[in-house]
Chain A
Amino acid sequence: MKRNNCQGLPSRMPDNTAFQQQQLPACRPSLTARAVLPGFFATGVSFLGMGILLILSAKSVKEIEITYTDLCSNCSKLRENASNFYKECTCSIPFFIPEKMPGNVYMYYKLHNFYQNYRRYIISRNNRQLLGEDNTDVENCAPFQRASNDRPIAPCGAIANSMFNDTILLSYYPNSSTGINVPLLSSEITWWTDKHVKFQNPKSSNLSSAFAGTAKPPYWRKPVYQLDQENPENNGFLNNDFIVWMRVAALPTFKKLYRRIHRIQQFADGLPAGNYSLDISYNFPVTVFKGEKGVVLSTATWSGGKNFFLGVAYTATGAMTWLAAFSLMAVHLKLKKKKASFQC
């Protein structure tokens, strides 16, 4: 019965590999005091350091927020009535910047209680249309697919329809009489991929013909190819404000980048301290959904904006780690002593 392997006959004996015999070499991270305690101390130190660094840098960020829903109460009231849709309403809000805002300064608009993360809202868009491939593709855009004359809406969908359409201008008053318009840039406020990949205008000789046969979203005053009167390049689906809006926010209170301060003349080093005013053409109704809106001016650092969360979290974690490390050490030493006395 017994076969001889030397004669080259096959044996059914399983291969003696470390894998098959479950004897693969391995390291077992064993929790000795010598490995754990230094690790804890080191982690604690680095986290505390990182936390403090983050807090300091967040603190250095200068930020000003002006909520203007109530400040422009006359306009808010006007907007509550849908029949006043085409009526213009402007509103000027003076404010004061106590400290100089150095470096790059960004202007955001901020909405409260606006549920851009509502599911039926989020799905109401069509990326193929936005890619400029087919204006008539309004699938998924319910309930804003077609206008009453059955023309496809471009851009279709609830997101596009609800686009934030206030215009905000910033004026600087070096002295009380004369105001200077702060130069604002709308370029490079979008993701590069959005501007160059995700959004494309339909191919045509000019924009208005490209969007021929489509209807504008019902809440819009102007068709999509006339969004920016000053810069013809900034129109159609490639309009920067439109692109920013289309990237929906995750939480009901959010701010979106609106403009960058163009660093020329006296604004080369940022916004100097002093009196400013916001000139707002108030179009976007927020009181209907009990929302609020505002403007945020902010500088930025390497770690982002004025957000203390990360810094505090790092500091707290670092502190907890140290606490744990000390208590572990205490327990360990006490037990060691006990054991030693036992052995005696």
Chain B
Amino acid sequence: MRALQGLRGPRAPALPLLLLCFLAAVRRSLEDGLSTAAPFTSLPVQEEITTKYSNLSLESHNISVTEHSSMPVEKNITLERPSNVELTCQFTTSGDLNSVNVTWKKGDKLLEDNYLVNAMGSILYTQYRVAVIDSKQMGSYSCFFGEKKQHRGTFNLKVPEINGKNKPLITYVGDSVVLMCKCQDCLPLNWTWYGANGSVQVPLGVPVNDKYVISGKHANETRLKITQLSEDDQGTYWCHAIFELGESGGHVELVVLSYLVPLKAFCAIVAEVVLLVTVILLFEMYTQKKKKPSDDGKEFEQGEQMKLDDSNGIENSGPRHRKNESVGQ
């Protein structure tokens, strides 16, 4: 780290100069046998584990814990298929590093071996390696620093999360609907769907029938098509994805309405419109009747004072008169 700090100086010196600096830094780090990424290279215990499961991929994750951090530091790790996992905690303190006690726990169980401790400068590194091959190795792994006041970092190993739908799906009786669950970049071994009948989860689609059809265009999604909906089909539906390392699920809520629900609102509004139209037309007829006796002889007024009277309204004789007069001309 100290070696690499030189590169953070002024921007973009001449290219050859940059190259020289880079080569010097790399050589220096190789000489010291230090590098920030791997403080634990070439130790015999590590080699044993890696050779047993060497065909699995390796995942490395780091957490940094300081003695001033009051909040527990956590990192979520998503694992889909079996792999070797390397968890590293680094602890910075101003005090004496050699007196700090380091422990690892899985859940509440204390872990005895498979971990290493190393100090470099003012940072204490500890690393735990585990070969995750089935669901028993998944869970929370925590590194603890110190005796009395323990500083802690936690790694949560989980299978990928499945997304259902947060908002309820609204459908109508007799309709059909497609419920979908998907996850971001995962390839589950298998998908299953469950419907909740009360509090009991009932698997769907088995045996194969017309009502429930499970399909999926891509491996990372699943679709459940339900036809001939009735109000009994209302409720929560669960989708489960099965991985080598465990199970994960999501849920979708289905609401089935009868057509009467919006129909009632529709009829209410239509009635209101009919009422409005009737009121407007009646009002007009009423004002016409009031003006008719006093209207004779008041033709061609330069009408500014006639605020109320402006039309020959309902009889619609105006247009017809127009036509007759134009013919007459």
Chain B associates with chain A:
no
Residues of B within 8 A of A (CB): none
